């Protein structure tokens, strides 16, 4: 497929065009095009690469050699080169001898280098231990005196002889400056003269552009371009950590739960005794789906309704008043994208644990949850949760903390701490924190607790049940030293980063 000059013009970005325009309006080759076109250097270099590839420009790079003063050179700039200091001293004094030169504050090397230079230019005389200078050589002497200032401002000196000498004495050093000079090719001129070159094409999508896309003229892309592909694929680092976590939890005796992303409000909220007007249920936080009504088992629904409205009384001491509000079974049937995987935990309590109440059970899931959030450095509307539940006799908060520490230790995160928090469905509730050296502060990595009796009563369970929900991306960011969750997924993800990132190896883990 051959492309016309106009086809190419429709593929150019604004910065590509600026460079071409610059080259057509100035005498070619244009010196240092990145500076000339007034572009940010990295954007300009990208464009230069592209324009070269398309054959629109030629590059005539020029390496310019300059000299600059070293720290020693800068000192001499103030105090004068040793040769100038010596010259001054001798020319002002009478009957000067070598010994007196020792009072000039110059060390042995400086003295011999300075005298050496003066001798080389033939201005240093020595007769019977007395030294003098020939001040008639004023030209040379003035030049020597202004030498460092000249190098500082021009990057070089006309006193060519001195350059090597100053380099050797480490008074100056070489500096290479690459100028990106470019000239336009014949094809480049055709492109910049083609009709589409002047039309402004959209090359950034904004919500306005998306709304009015039919009227917009877009910059074109070359879908047939030959793109070098990386040689091999690789498991996404999140999936890598998921596999590690699943192995860890299976090795701790947990069985994996199966689940769906869409859930009824009943299993996401009501079964856990969230009040039916709880703010978490608002559309600002929860993603509702317009997909009809969920079917909820009427038997379970009515038992949850009874506890919600009136509580229960197991015996004189073990009672609850409930919310003492009406429970609306219609609200339970809304379909939402689940906001936490604790919904799945309660399905398993209902389906398995309540039917085998004498048997200990441990379940986990590592799965996705959804919240109506604006993405930022630490939040995404979709993320993963590591859910866990332990059912057994005589469990306490100490067991809960023990499981949490054991789990995090196995994935290489030590020094966990917990602090009291609030959930409608656990009491006590513990927030879990880990220390991020990179951020220099404690991060919340999860939440946990002992389920409230009200949530278990409908299933005929009156033991302590411990459970947790950990965020997967938080420990992940600690293990890969990245502090922005958006680099991992979606429109802002960084493919180079994902290709190269390694999950840090941790002792005692299965990585
Ligand atoms: N569901 C809680 C959350 O989303 C975590 C949690 C699970 C807390 C189980 C206590 C018990 O953060």
Kindly give, in sequence order, each residue whose CB lies less than 8 Å from that of residue 343, ignoring residues fewer than 6 positions away: 259, 263, 267, 268, 271
Across 176-197, average pLDDT: 88
Q: 449 CB less than 6 Å from ligand 1?
A: yes
Q: 388 CB less than 6 Å from ligand 1?
A: no
pLDDT higher than 60, residue 507: no
Enumerate domains of the chain plus CATH numbers: 5-52+185-215 (no CATH), 71-170 (1.10.10), 237-261+339-510 (3.30.930.10)
Report field, pTM of the whole predicted structure over 0.85: no
Q: 468 CB less than 6 Å from ligand 1?
A: yes
Cα–Cα separations (whole angstroms), residue 344 to 181, 191, 259, 298, 382:
64, 61, 6, 18, 17
Q: Which atom of ligand 1 is nearest to the CA of 387?
A: 7
Taking the C-alpha atoms of residue 427 and residue 423, their distance in angstroms, rounded to an integer, is 7
Nearest to 476 by CA among 508, 441, 446, 440: 446
Query: Greater confidence, 400 or 177?
Result: 400
Taking the C-alpha atoms of residue 298 and residue 296, their distance in angstroms, rounded to an integer, is 6
Chain centroid to Cα 40, Å, comes to: 21
- Confidence at residue 227, expressed as pLDDT on a 0 to 100 scale: 77
pLDDT higher than 50, residue 510: no
**Banded model confidence at residue 271, pLDDT cuts 50, 70, 90:** very high
Taking the C-alpha atoms of residue 507 and residue 414, their distance in angstroms, rounded to an integer, is 11
- Length of the chain (residues): 511
pLDDT higher than 50, residue 36: yes
Phi/psi for 385 (5° steps) reads: -125, 145
**Residue pLDDT, tens place only, 101-119:** 888 999 999 999 999 999 9
Q: Which atom of ligand 1 is nearest to the CA of 470?
A: 5
For atom 2 of ligand 1, the residue with the nearest CA is: 469
Q: 433 CB less than 6 Å from ligand 1?
A: no
Kindly give, in sequence order, each residue whose CB lies less than 8 Å from that of residue 139, ignoring residues fewer than 6 positions away: none
CA of 342 to the centre of ligand 1 (A): 6
CA of 121 to the centre of ligand 1 (A): 86
Across 341-370, average pLDDT: 98
Structure tokens at 298: 């009427």
Taking the C-alpha atoms of residue 123 and residue 131, their distance in angstroms, rounded to an integer, is 11
Q: Cis link prior to 101 (omega < 30° from 0)? A: no
Taking the C-alpha atoms of residue 149 and residue 80, their distance in angstroms, rounded to an integer, is 10
Q: 341 CB less than 6 Å from ligand 1?
A: no
Taking the C-alpha atoms of residue 179 and residue 35, their distance in angstroms, rounded to an integer, is 9
Mutational pocket test of ligand 1: of 268, 338, 340, the residue with most ligand atoms within 8 Å of the beta carbon: 340
For atom 10 of ligand 1, the residue with the nearest CA is: 448
Q: 423 CB less than 6 Å from ligand 1?
A: yes
CA of 475 to the centre of ligand 1 (A): 16
Cα–Cα separations (whole angstroms), residue 53 to 46, 57, 108:
11, 9, 58
Mutational pocket test of ligand 1: of 263, 268, 286, 342, the residue with most ligand atoms within 8 Å of the beta carbon: 342
Q: Which atom of ligand 1 is nearest to the CA of 451?
A: 11
Phi/psi for 249 (5° steps) reads: -70, -35
Q: 308 CB less than 6 Å from ligand 1?
A: no
For atom 8 of ligand 1, the residue with the nearest CA is: 448
Q: 342 CB less than 6 Å from ligand 1?
A: yes
- Confidence at residue 506, expressed as pLDDT on a 0 to 100 scale: 55
């Amino acid at each position: 497929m051959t492309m016309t000059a106009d086809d190419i013009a429709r593929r150019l970005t604004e910065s590509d065009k600026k460079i071409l325009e610059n080259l057509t309006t100035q005498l070619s080759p244009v010196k240092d095009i990145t500076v000339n076109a007034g572009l940010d250097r990295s954007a300009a270099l990208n464009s230069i690469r592209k324009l070269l590839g398309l054959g629109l420009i030629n590059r005539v790079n020029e390496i310019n050699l300059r000299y600059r003063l070293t720290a020693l050179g800068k000192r001499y700039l103030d105090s004068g080169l040793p040769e100038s200091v010596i010259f001054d001293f001798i020319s002002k004094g009478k009957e000067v001898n070598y010994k007196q030169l020792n009072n000039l504050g110059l060390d042995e090397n400086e003295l011999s280098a300075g005298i050496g230079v003066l001798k080389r230019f033939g201005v240093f005389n020595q007769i019977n231990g007395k030294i003098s200078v020939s001040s008639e050589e004023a030209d040379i002497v003035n030049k020597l005196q202004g030498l460092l200032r000249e190098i500082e401002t021009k990057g070089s000196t006309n006193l060519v002889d001195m350059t090597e000498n100053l380099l050797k004495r480490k008074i100056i050093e070489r500096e290479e400056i690459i100028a990106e000079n470019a000239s336009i090719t014949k094809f480049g001129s055709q492109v910049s003269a083609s009709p589409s070159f002047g039309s402004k094409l959209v090359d950034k999508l904004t919500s306005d552009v998306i709304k009015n896309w039919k009227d917009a003229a877009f910059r074109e892309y070359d879908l047939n371009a030959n793109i070098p592909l990386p040689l091999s694929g690789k498991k996404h680092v999140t999936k890598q950590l998921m596999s590690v976590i699943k192995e860890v939890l299976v090795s701790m005796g947990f069985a994996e739960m199966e689940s769906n992303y869409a859930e009824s409000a009943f299993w996401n909220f009501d079964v856990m005794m969230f009040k039916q007007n709880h703010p978490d249920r608002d559309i600002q936080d929860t993603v509702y789906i317009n997909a009809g009504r969920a079917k909820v088992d009427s038997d379970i629904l009515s038992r949850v309704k009874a506890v919600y409205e009136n509580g229960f009384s197991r015996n004189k001491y073990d009672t609850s008043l409930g919310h003492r509000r009406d429970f609306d079974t219609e609200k339970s049937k809304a379909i939402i994208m689940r906001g936490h995987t604790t919904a799945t935990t309660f399905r398993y309590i209902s389906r398995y644990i309540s039917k085998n109440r004498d048997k200990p059970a441990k379940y986990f899931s590592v799965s996705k949850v959804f919240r109506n959030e604006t993405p930022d450095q630490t939040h995404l509307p979709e993320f993963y949760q590591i859910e866990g539940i332990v059912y057994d006799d005589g469990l306490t908060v100490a067991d809960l903390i023990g499981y949490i520490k054991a789990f995090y230790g196995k994935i290489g995160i030590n020094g966990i701490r917990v602090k009291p928090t609030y959930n409608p469905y656990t009491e006590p509730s513990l927030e879990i924190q880990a220390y991020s050296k990179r951020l220099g502060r404690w991060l919340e990595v999860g939440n946990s607790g002992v389920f409230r009796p009200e949530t278990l009563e409908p299933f005929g369970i009156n033991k302590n049940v411990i459970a947790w929900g950990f965020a997967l991306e938080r420990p992940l960011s600690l293990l890969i030293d990245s502090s922005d969750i958006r680099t991992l997924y979606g429109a802002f993800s960084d493919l180079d980063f994902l290709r190269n990132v390694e999950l840090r190896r941790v002792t005692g883990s299965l990585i």
